[in-house]
Structure 1
């Protein structure tokens, strides 16, 4: 299969509106600046990098060429550069991937993902991760990863005040993290460029091995996803939504598949694939007449 290289792709062209709204709410919350500053002070970025470097196997073209090539192809298609490092970690009984590192991103993939996923499916899960680099939201993604530890540190060091601040931001973070998956799923589809591959990958993320992916199983799954997507998400009970966001172990693949199918059915995916100019008008206008420093924007490591 020949995939289109999406040169000049902007994350804004595939960003889910729920993602955009949730991130704006998070950024406007009191206490976010404090938490970002503390993450910088504690050197979380470097610590997470050392954790991968010291405990996981770094992937290269020599040791695991198929995995490495999948990352190379994913980044070429989504126009992500430079290439992040890729690490392989131990099996957990289900597929797991992650991305950390604001300054030097690292993508992690576990043994189960390597063994369960085909070459095309690897593009989907890797696209789902590297979109964080493209969207420039790694700082918030990383904050969500370390939030439990950070909240405890702030609480012990500020007589409980920091913990109270963090608790308010925590729900907003979990809300945004859930919504950002919708955009990441779209990026995964743009990477593999096959709805069928995206569907089987999501089903495997739900824990279903390849041998069970028969035509009836896939068709029933798609029907279930469309049924779920027909509900108005904004009308879900608020408490249910909060509990959903804070239960990080749930994959929510039916909901995610439903949202992805809505995007495909709307024609937006096909329109995006067929475009020649993938930068948004707003992005082009913003970059005109700006200095290099203004184009770079806020820098996580140096702007405090």
Structure 2
């Protein structure tokens, strides 16, 4: 069945998998495994949500069998045979409340295809209509699209990449649907019903409808397709009816703006942009103080490390003479450091103060026994106690 897979899907599949795995590894390592607990809690929520969906389908839908709607079950069996689908998923008919749609889903290893009743009713005059929708959804299951999303999820939010992968998957599944149809035009009409509606699809001029793809080359049309998970319907119909030559290239400038819009699934580019702004707001609101705190910690560590030579000299001099030295200069220790930082020494209590760019740390010695001194750090200016390192030693 590899001939049915849209060529770009394989490439995008590998890219999103690698990026997604790298993200998860960095997240787990960076949070010292806490992310695993969060993921576990998220999986529990997923189980409850998905179990609610499956329960609703089983409790309110009609299971397709050889005795229940045998004509539709026969079409389903033919699709599974054509696509070499084993084992067969369960197929349910569910009231669509006016919506024309079908979808596939999984739960704990079991696979399901759901046809909304409006699709089934609308396709009563198209011998291949239901086959196309069945084939499309079986394609998602056969390609294991639903089972591959977890590892890829972080990469799917990336601008251009996530939407491109989603469109490639839909194009592959349209090919699966086409493989179940006796003619490309029947497949095209099944798809076009999503535009023309329950009845008017019968009178639709496919040639004219496919000519509408000429409109998709403009900047705005290109931009909104680049941020969406589905190709424009006119393109999908043109492809399944073998009218590829009609599809124009997208506007090159639209790619520049699309790079600024993360992918948010079926919610569209505007929703993605809102989520993007929301994430940035919280990143700045919470991340900036954290970044400043981390930066201050590194600066404090650097400042304390700069005093190592002076502390060693003071410690050695004290144990040699049993009294604080008169000055740092008497020990050959400069008070001015090469990077501009300065050391201040107090002979009375042998304390050191290091000043660096508006930040000051006082290092206070404590005699533990006759041959051991430890140094305690105290924030003087520009730093907090939490930002200071544990500056013990030398001993």
**When the two structures are superposed, what TM-score results if normalisation uses the length of structure 1?**
0.62
Structure 1: give runs of 5+ residues left out of the alignment.
1-9, 148-164, 266-304
Q: Deviations over 1:134-181 (max 9, x none)?
A: 21222146999xx8xxxxxxxxxxxxxxxxx58836975444222211
Structure 2 match to 1:74: 79
Does the CA contact (< 8 Å) of 2:238 and 2:244 recur in 1? no
Aligned residues: 227
**Rounded Cα–Cα distance in structure 2 between residues aligned with 1:79 and 1:68:** 16
> 2:171 matched to 1:182?
yes
Q: Deviations over 1:213-241 (max 9, x none)?
A: 336x222113334x468x5x9x9888534
**Rounded Cα–Cα distance in structure 2 between residues aligned with 1:32 and 1:119:** 46
**Rounded Cα–Cα distance in structure 1 between residues aligned with 2:163 and 2:224:** 13
RMSD: 3.7
Structure 2 match to 1:58: 63
| Closer/same/farther in 2, CA of residues 13 and 166 from structure 1, 3 Å limit | closer
**Rounded Cα–Cα distance in structure 2 between residues aligned with 1:189 and 1:28:** 31
1:90 CA drift (Å): 1.2
Tell me the secondary structure at the aligned position of residue 137 of structure 2: helix
1:82 CA drift (Å): 1.6
Higher relative contact order (CA 8 A, sep 6+): 1
Structure 1 match to 2:133: 125
Q: 1:223 aligns with which of 211, 216, 239?
A: 211
Structure 2 match to 1:108: 114
Q: Deviations over 1:270-298 (max 9, x none)?
A: xxxxxxxxxxxxxxxxxxxxxxxxxxxxx
Structure 2 match to 1:198: 187
Q: 1:240 aligns with which of 224, 228, 233?
A: 224
Tell me the secondary structure at the aligned position of residue 147 of structure 2: helix
Structure 1 match to 2:363: none
Q: 1:256 aligns with which of 221, 236, 260?
A: 236
**Rounded Cα–Cα distance in structure 2 between residues aligned with 1:111 and 1:167:** 31
Structure 1 match to 2:297: none
Does the CA contact (< 8 Å) of 2:184 and 2:242 recur in 1? no
Does the CA contact (< 8 Å) of 2:192 and 2:237 recur in 1? no
| Closer/same/farther in 2, CA of residues 238 and 20 from structure 1, 3 Å limit | farther
Does the CA contact (< 8 Å) of 2:61 and 2:92 recur in 1? yes
Tell me the secondary structure at the aligned position of residue 240 of structure 1: helix
Write 1 or 2 for the structure with the bigger share of strand.
Answer: 2
**When the two structures are superposed, what TM-score results if normalisation uses the length of structure 2?**
0.49
Structure 2 match to 1:158: none
Tell me the secondary structure at the aligned position of residue 157 of structure 2: helix
Greater radius of gyration (CA): 2
Q: 1:213 aligns with which of 186, 195, 202?
A: 202
